[in-house]
Structure 1
Amino acid sequence: MRPCHGDEEALADWQRGLREQFPIITTHPGLAYLDSAATAQKPRSVLQAVQAYLTTSNANAGRGTYPWANRTTELVERTRRRVKDFLGDPDPRRSAVHFTSGTTEGLRVIARDWLTSFLSDGDEILVPFADHRANLEPWLEAQRLLADRGTDVRVRALPYQAGSGDYDHRALARTVGPRTRFVAVTHLHHVYGGDMNVQRIRAAVGPDVPICLDAAQSVGHLPVSVAESALDVDFVVFSGHKALALPGTGAVWARNTRGPVLEPGGWQGTPNTVGIASLEAALDWLEAAGTERIARWTVALAARLTDGLRHLDSYEILGCQSSLAGDSGQPLQQRRHGIVTFRHRGIPSDDLGFILFSEGFMVRADSLCQAGADEKKDGSVRVSLHVYNTVDEIERLLAVLASLDRGLHGTENRFHL
């Protein structure tokens, strides 16, 4: 497989150099980690930054005047600025960055501490009912909290295109009404791997409606810019652990130009300072590596996997089917950003996950926390990629999947289907 056109060898050399920087990858050469949408592995520089912080400056932020505490306070503020810079913030003096434990908490902060003070009786919000549950449950919680106060807010579902998993932007324009006050969207779908084309959301809802972006699967995997010419959204929420930082770390970026300024409520306790140290190092590493090149690499690997799977009759690939076939004589046109999700027509997905691990592949195999999904009925296998994954891993995976395709009927008997 050629991962790109023109400078294939240079890109391959670049990838090999980056792969060597992930100790957990290089010390387990017989295993292929294919679950980066759940959590990404950590480069050596992130691990070293954590070690350096814990052995030189570990203290509480904003709680003391001695040097370790001062350095920790500066670390927190410096990383806020780093997040803004990484997102291409056009007006960093007005915006704000709040650290959380991850995307789920970040979305709940916006729902509880901002949205409930922004909405009035009779308002409506539009939210995704087929994306990750973390981008649905907080908005339903906000509706319940408002109802307890006697404020009736309508929650409406974002419209989707049939069979693709993408938002239906034309239908959305017809769905927006004069009482639409807020829209929650996803940047990159965690099951289908598709870019949800959120640039079109702004055109559909108009210039005044605040938009919240779940960027859990995009930050750290592809370029993300909040310049108004790119993503004219009001909130960007992401998890550090999916962007090469430690678990328990996340951030909410707030533009603070539409509606009230976001101010998380309640007493703010001790921040996850070691996680924040890892996030700063991770953003530095990603910027040096180049998120555009990371995206090119993972999109190419996903294209190779999808192209191989579509020739195996036993598998159903989830998501946009129009991305599965290129024009005659042309290379496959692939829109999946490092995520390919599929089902075997004869093997339950959890069993397939165990089979693949026995062959050295670590994948996600369940309902993937998709809102509205049934664990047993809607289970699937997700392969999610990052820069440390290789062409050889994809080729070996396809060989195993092909062997299961050839042995479909015998496999059915084995699992008593």
Structure 2
Amino acid sequence: MTAPTTRDHGPADLDDLRSWQREVRAQFPIFSGQPDPASPEPAYLDSAATAQKPLAVLDAVRTYLTTTNANAGRGTYTWANRTTDLVEHTRDRVKEFLGDAYPERSTVHFTGGTTEGLRTIARDWLPAFLSDGDEIVVPVADHQANILPWLETQQALARQGVHVRVRPMPYQAGSGDYDHIALAELAGPRTRFVAATHVHHVYGGDMNPHRIRRAVGPDAVICLDAAQSVGHLPVSVADLDVDFVVFSGHKALALPGTGAVWSRQARGPAFAPGGWSGTPNTAGIASLAAALDWLDATGLDRIERWTVALAARLTEGLRHLDAYEILGCPLSLAADSTVQRRQGIVTFRHRAIDSGDLGFILFSHGFMVRSDSHCQGSAGEKTDSVRVSLHAYNTREEIDRLLSVLHGLQ
């Protein structure tokens, strides 16, 4: 695990941001209903799977569908022109949100989500970039969406007589972080493409992709799975020096079925998805524009401070409960940790209770968590676990209540 970055935050943020967080939570209609007095108070702790939607996003979608709904790029009447303008505005908005210093050189392509975006790059761009004898680096302990497309490309090229070597991304033992020193030793002149993750979907760690460029040199293309970072913390393509950033809108407070591929267009052929472009998800794109506006207005720095502090409170409590094993870097658990903190994702197991059973037990107390293998690759965890993933609408009281329930299961 790495030393703290400039974004490192601590439990004090829970006090500093408490009034801000109350105002944030009040903007999510799903939490405003009257609880059933016969049922436990619900606590949604599965934002790494999909995030809840603020009223501003819901209102933007309703306004679009009731005033402007039409197809984009296929008509000359007012509604169609407004929809086309909306799509183009949202492309520009994505570039701005990602801190793109040269937006005139980059492109944004809308997809159904991160998985579709990564597969589009693997199918429509990567084959033309690779030659016989080239090497690609694949993060084999990350999400399968960032593993399988690259392996499928290797197999498709092999059938054409083009042989590409897959090199597994090296990891630090015991932490789940990338081993950037080992990566630098592994990379060579035939290393052409590196797939990486920004925030790990199981361990919650910032994988420090800004260090990958130094490790692999100036010529390799770097594709970043940002599904767990965009919408959760500030993301700057100017600082990261990657070539692709792919993310899911639905994890960034937009509607399901929405995502984007940002392409720097600086290394290799220009990125252009193949085939005929059908009707875009215009309602989803409208929701994405509204979500990015809401995130900027609310403050990504404060969202990150809050969720990191909640994760620190949870790990600090869990590390005193002997019945639980916390996955990821063990040095990041204490409240006074001197290493980089987890980004709002905490995954653990009970040493005696099956994780699936533990998930059902927690739901009986009102907690909505994920309990399975989390779609991790072949080099990842072999045993199911429970994942708690947080956003700005989660409260300190939810974490304390969760810890109380977990303590009672020792």
| TM-score, shorter chain, exceeding 0.5 | yes
Tell me the equivalent position of 1:148: 159
* 1:23 match: 29
1:398 to 383, 394, 403: 403
What residue ranges of structure 2 are gaps of 5+ in the alignment?
1-8, 36-40
Choose from 360, 363, 366 the match for 2:372. 366
Matched, 1:335 2:341: yes
Is 2:331–2:337's contact at 8 Å kept on the other side of the alignment? Answer: no
Report the number of matched residues.
397
Change (3 A) 1:332 1:154: closer
- 8 Å CA contact retained: 1:39, 1:241: yes
How far residue 333 of structure 1 moved from its aligned partner, in angstroms, is 5.4
| Residue equivalent to 1:170 | 181
CA distance, structure 2, for counterparts of residue 28 and residue 365 of structure 1: 27
Q: Secondary structure at the match of 1:280?
A: helix
Corresponding residue number in structure 2 for 1:71: 82
Contact 1:129 1:158 in 2 (8 A): yes
Q: TM-score, normalised by structure 1?
A: 0.93
User: How far apart, CA to CA, are the structure 2 residues paired with 1:121 and 1:374?
Assistant: 29
* Rounded Cα–Cα distance in structure 2 between residues aligned with 1:179 and 1:28: 60
- Supply the distance in 2 between the matched residues of 1:174 and 1:331 (Cα, whole angstroms): 30
Match of 1:221 in 2: 232
Q: Measure the CA separation in 2 of the matches of 1:122 and 1:338.
A: 40
Indicate the residue corresponding to 1:261 in structure 2: 270
SS of residue in 2 equivalent to 1:144: helix
Task: Determine the structure 2 residue equivalent to 1:293.
Answer: 302
Following superposition of structure 1 onto structure 2, how do residues 130-279 of structure 1 map, counting pairs within 5 Å? 130-227=141-238, 230-279=239-288
Query: C-alpha displacement at 1:4, in angstroms?
Result: 4.7
Measured against aligned partners, the alpha-carbon deviations of 1:51-90 in whole angstroms (never above 9, x if no partner) come to: 0011001110001111110000000000000000000101
Indicate the residue corresponding to 2:316 in structure 1. Answer: 307
1:67-119 per-position Cα deviation (integer Å, ceiling 9, x unaligned): 11000000000000000000010110010000000000000111111101100
Equivalent residue, structure 1, for 2:135: 124
Say yes or no: does 1:60 pair with 2:71: yes
Q: CA deviation at 1:325?
A: 3.7
Pair 1:28–1:279, CA change in 2 (3 A)? farther
More RCO (CA 8 Å, sep 6+): 2
Check the 8 A contact 1:103/1:237 in 2, yes or no: yes
Q: Please give the TM-score of this superposition, normalised by the length of structure 2.
A: 0.94
| AA partner of residue 63 (structure 2) | A
Give deviations 1:321-348, integer Å, cap 9, x for gaps.
111246xxx4675610000000000110
What is the root-mean-square deviation in Å for CA atoms of aligned residues?
Answer: 1.5
Q: Is contact 1:365-1:379 (8 Å) kept?
A: yes
1:12 aligns with 2:18: yes
| CA displacement at 1:208 relative to structure 2 | 1.2
2:34 & 2:255 partners in 1: Cα distance? Answer: 20
- Written as runs of structure 1 = structure 2, the 5 A alignment for 1:34-113 is 34-113=45-124
The percentage of counterpart residues that share the same residue type is 73
Name the amino acid aligned to 1:17.
Answer: E
Matched-pair contact (CA < 8 Å) for 1:367–1:373: no
Q: Distance in 2 between matches of 1:300 and 1:374?
A: 26
Structure 1's consecutive aligned runs of 4 or more residues displaced over 6 angstroms after TM superposition are none
Deviation at 1:207, TM superposition (A): 1.1
